[in-house]
């Protein structure tokens, strides 16, 4: 006669076949592994966004974007908030627990693949600026405290404050309370500079990039995409 533990052991394989495998990576990807999911989280980390703004920032088609946002809401990563007459999407506290994952994915790509994947296409200036925390060279930023203000004009322009503080980088929209250095440029020119599609020395000489204040070059503290077509380009911005 079999003992109860023996009977349970005998039944286990058949019953367990319907259970999900214990694999932390697999179970996590069940929730966040669809294409565009973490891209949307990355953009919502910067603050609440409207549907059209998310479309413009990511290039996701409207049907796929609708599906992904619905899934994120069903999984309690995203919720909606009112901003006047508008409805915006924002991360829940649970959604913000994904920030370290997004950051590590971005850093892995920046450190290992960015310079072998260019040249890169034009994109929104806001998307480039908000990616700066993922591109910080911590070895150069250690012990540094400096604030930059970026003023961009034209389509996609705005004002951003970038703060480097002892190996970390923060980005927020708006004017700086005190800026050590201020950059002024057309939004498109700034984007081309950041993507390595415009030589910064030419931009300075032509007056397309203006720098006010004293302190270290902002580019020194960040990983920079290289442009294979301009291997001799400067990097003094």
User: What predicted TM-score, i.e. pTM, was given to this entire model?
Assistant: 0.75
Query: What gap in Å lies between CA 183 and CA 213, rounded to an integer?
Result: 9
Q: How far apart are the first and last CA of the chain?
A: 81
Query: What gap in Å lies between CA 173 and CA 98, rounded to an integer?
Result: 22
Mean pLDDT of 62-78: 97
Query: What gap in Å lies between CA 68 and CA 34, rounded to an integer?
Result: 8
Query: What gap in Å lies between CA 73 and CA 85, rounded to an integer?
Result: 20
What 3 state SS string does the chain have?
A: CCCHHHHHHHHHHHHHCCCCCCCHHHHHHHHHCCCCHHHHHHHHCCCCECHHHHHHHHCCCHHHHHHHHHHHHHCCCEEEEEECCEEEEEECCCHHHHHHHHHHHHHHHHHHCHHHCCCCCCCCHHHHHHCHHHHECHHHHCCCEEEEEEEEECCCCEEEEEEEECCEEEEEECCCCCCCEEEEEEHHHHHHHHCCCCCHHHHHHCCCEEEEECCCCHHHHECCCCCHHHCCCCCCC
What are 5-27's pLDDT values in tens digits? Answer: 555 555 555 555 667 788 999 99
Q: Is the pLDDT of residue 232 over 50?
A: no
Q: How many residues does the chain have?
A: 237
- Please tell me the class of the 24-112 domain: mainly alpha
Domain positions in the chain are 24-112, 118-230
What CATH code would you report for 118-230?
3.30.1050.10
What are 157-180's pLDDT values in tens digits? Answer: 999 999 999 999 999 999 999 999
What are 110-146's pLDDT values in tens digits? Answer: 888 887 776 666 677 888 898 899 889 989 999 999 9
């Amino acid at each position: 006669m079999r003992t109860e533990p023996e009977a349970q052991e005998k039944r286990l394989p058949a019953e367990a076949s319907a259970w999900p495998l214990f694999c932390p990576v697999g179970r996590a990807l069940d929730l966040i592994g669809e294409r565009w999911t973490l891209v949307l989280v990355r953009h919502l980390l910067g603050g609440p966004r409207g549907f059209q703004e998310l479309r413009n920032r990511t290039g996701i088609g409207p049907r796929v974007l609708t599906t992904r946002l619905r899934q994120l809401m069903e999984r309690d990563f995203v919720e909606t908030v009112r901003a006047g007459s508008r409805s915006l999407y924002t991360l829940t506290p649970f959604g913000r627990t994904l920030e370290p994952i997004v950051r590590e994915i971005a850093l892995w790509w920046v450190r290992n693949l960015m310079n072998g994947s260019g040249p890169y296409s034009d994109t929104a200036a806001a998307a480039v600026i908000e990616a700066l925390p993922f591109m910080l060279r911590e070895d150069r930023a250690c012990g540094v405290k400096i604030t930059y203000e970026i003023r961009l004009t034209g389509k996609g322009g705005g004002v951003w404050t970038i703060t480097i503080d002892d190996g970390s980088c923060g980005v927020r929209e708006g004017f700086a309370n005190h800026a050590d250095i201020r950059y002024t440029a057309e939004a498109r020119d700034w984007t081309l500079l950041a993507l390595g599609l415009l030589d910064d020395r030419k931009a300075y000489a032509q007056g397309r990039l203006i720098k006010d204040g004293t302190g270290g070059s902002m580019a020194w503290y960040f990983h920079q995409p290289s442009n294979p077509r301009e291997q001799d380009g400067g990097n003094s911005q």
